[in-house]
Amino acid sequence: MPLSDIRLARIQRASAWLHLVLTALLPGIPLLLALGWALIPDAQLGDSLGLKMMPGAQPGPLTLLDRTMGFGASLLLPTGVILYGVWHLRALFGLYARGIILGPDNAERLRALAMTLILWVPAQMLGDIVVSLAMSLDNAVGERFVAISLSSNDVAIALVGAVALVISWVMVEAARAAEDSASIV
């Protein structure tokens, strides 16, 4: 086998494995989130979910409804965006596993992944708001709270998303140029 065929085979094997892992994550992520909401003790739930609580802003005992609302908010907002990204990343590695390394579909999947990274930041912020409201809904008036945060990690994720978005545009143009070259010959 020529070296380029060996490299392509290596890419295909690694991509097939990642495709399988990402396929397992699609149901696995919501399942782990549900288990977290169901099993983590009330006092540890905010920290476990990454909510940055202000001193003194603690949820009271959480009812089944509180936990269900929190799970729903977590699933629909930040986790929903993550699952969208995992879906497209899975499809991208599926293309690589089939030996399709460069093409318009690859660029479209990368574009969707870039948008996922960019949209995850506001989705996470909104998710924090809704989850914190769900966690404190049963608190007495004046003891309810809203948690919202923006970290340097969030900014970095959005920046990586913007870079990936530009790279996907370049890939679309490269695929078009390759098609034009192929049609001339």
Angstrom CA distances, 84 to 63, 65, 99, 101, 140, stand at: 30, 26, 23, 21, 37
Lowest mean pLDDT among 2-11, 37-46, 50-59, 79-88: 50-59
Mean pLDDT within 18-43: 90
Q: Do 17 and 93 form a contact (C-beta atoms < 8 A)?
A: no
Specify the pLDDT at position 57.
Answer: 54
H and E: helices and strands count for the chain: 6, 0
Q: Identify residue 26 by its one-letter amino acid code.
A: L
Of the candidates 44, 113, 122, 43, the one whose C-alpha atom is nearest the C-alpha of residue 84 is: 113
Q: In the predicted model, what is the mean pLDDT of the chain?
A: 85
What b/e readout covers 11-31, taking b as 16+ CB neighbours within 10 angstroms? ebeebeebbeebeebeeeebe
pLDDT at 52 over 60: no
What is the tens place of the pLDDT at every residue in 107-164? 899 999 999 999 999 998 888 888 878 777 777 777 777 778 888 999 999 999 999 9
Please return the burial class of 74, using the count of CB atoms within 10 Å of its CB with bins 0-12, 13-18 and 19+: buried
pLDDT at 45 over 70: no
Higher pLDDT, 29 or 54: 29
Q: Taking the domains of the chain in order of start, what are their residue ranges?
A: 3-184
Mean pLDDT within 36-45: 75
Kindly provide the residue ranges of all beta strands, DSSP E only, lying in 57-150, ordered along the sequence. none
pLDDT at 53 over 70: no
The whole-model pTM stands at: 0.81
Higher pLDDT, 50 or 30: 30
d(CA 118, CA 154): 9
Confidence band (pLDDT; 50, 70, 90) for 49? Answer: low
Specify the pLDDT at position 43.
Answer: 65
